[in-house]
Amino acid sequence: MSAHVPDESGAVVRAQGCTKIYGDGHAEVTAVSEVDLSIGRGELVALVGPSGSGKSTLLSMLGALLTPTTGRVFVEAVDVGVLNERERTALRARRIGFVFQASGLVPFLTAQENVAAVGSFAGMPRGDIDRRTRQLLGQLGLAERTDHLPEALSGGERQRVSIARALLADPPVLLADEPTAHLDHERGEQVIRLLADAVHDGTRAGLVVTHDPAVAAHADRVVHITDGRLDPTG
Ligand SMILES: Nc1ncnc2c1ncn2[C@@H]1O[C@H](COP(=O)(O)OP(=O)(O)O)[C@@H](O)[C@H]1O
Ligand SMILES: [Mg+2]
């Protein structure tokens, strides 16, 4: 895979003055307001705030899923705003790993097939996809589960498969939106430890949105958001 290169400020992913306004006229909602956030390599940031405070919106902008109304997002010094649709899709596939609250696995594909399926979007050679899929599922404690369909896996196992999928292309940015919300404490701990390990091995930057203090405890930095604004002390 290509080298992971932070920009000159050391940031792997960076929001600069990002504002997101949904709707227009009377229906306007300012979900995120003038946010600056920079995450470096090997750094896991926890984003904490009440429901509706703009956490998912900010995560989506950092992941090039959503275009800011104003402000800019940089991924490894690339200004996401200058990319066309196709380039942004490629950036997401190659440079960003996503983990969501629901694992989002395809129900008719096995664990191994679910992970491998994203490899072709990232332009990975077949051999690399197979090798890395096996390696990741093994590392995440799923070696015995590779041929199981999602319905035969526990919630924690499904979430571990989704982590393997997020890491397949070895992305420099890992974004997780309430990844432990559907898990009991023990399984949640396991999932967050795996996410933290994937960042703390020094190869990527991570952001995890959470309500769970146990999750935030694994982060290097906790950032609080209220009404779309980051707490200046966070
Ligand atoms: N697609 C959308 N269209 C309109 N409003 C939205 C949309 N997505 C989110 N919002 C609003 O933006 C605000 C922030 O939402 P969100 O980022 O999902 O917050 P959180 O993840 O912290 O719960 C909320 O007021 C929400 O209702
Ligand atoms: Mg949310």
pLDDT along the chain (234 residues), means of 10: 63 97 93 98 96 97 98 96 96 96 94 96 95 94 96 94 96 96 88 93 94 88 97 71
* pLDDT for 212: 84
Distances 58 to 32, 64, 144, 161 between C-alpha atoms, Å? 7, 10, 36, 24
In a domain, 208, yes or no: yes
Determine if ligand 1 sits within 6 Å of the CB of residue 29: yes
pTM of the shown model? 0.94
* pLDDT for 187: 86
In a domain, 20, yes or no: no
In a domain, 29, yes or no: no
- Looking at residue 233, its amino acid is T
Determine if ligand 1 sits within 6 Å of the CB of residue 53: yes
- Going from the Cα of 225 to the center of ligand 2, the distance in angstroms, rounded, reads 12
Whichever domain contains 215, its CATH number is 3.40.50.300
Distances 162 to 68, 76, 172, 194, 198 between C-alpha atoms, Å? 26, 24, 17, 11, 13
* pLDDT for 90: 95
Range of the domain at 108: 42-64+82-230
In a domain, 58, yes or no: yes
Closest CA to 71 of 11, 10, 15, 7: 15
How far apart, in whole angstroms, are the C-alpha atoms of residue 230 and residue 226?
6
Distances 10 to 2, 127, 158 between C-alpha atoms, Å? 18, 33, 33
In a domain, 13, yes or no: no
- Going from the Cα of 52 to the center of ligand 2, the distance in angstroms, rounded, reads 7
In a domain, 27, yes or no: no
In a domain, 7, yes or no: no
**How many domains in the chain?**
1
Determine if ligand 1 sits within 6 Å of the CB of residue 54: yes
In a domain, 23, yes or no: no
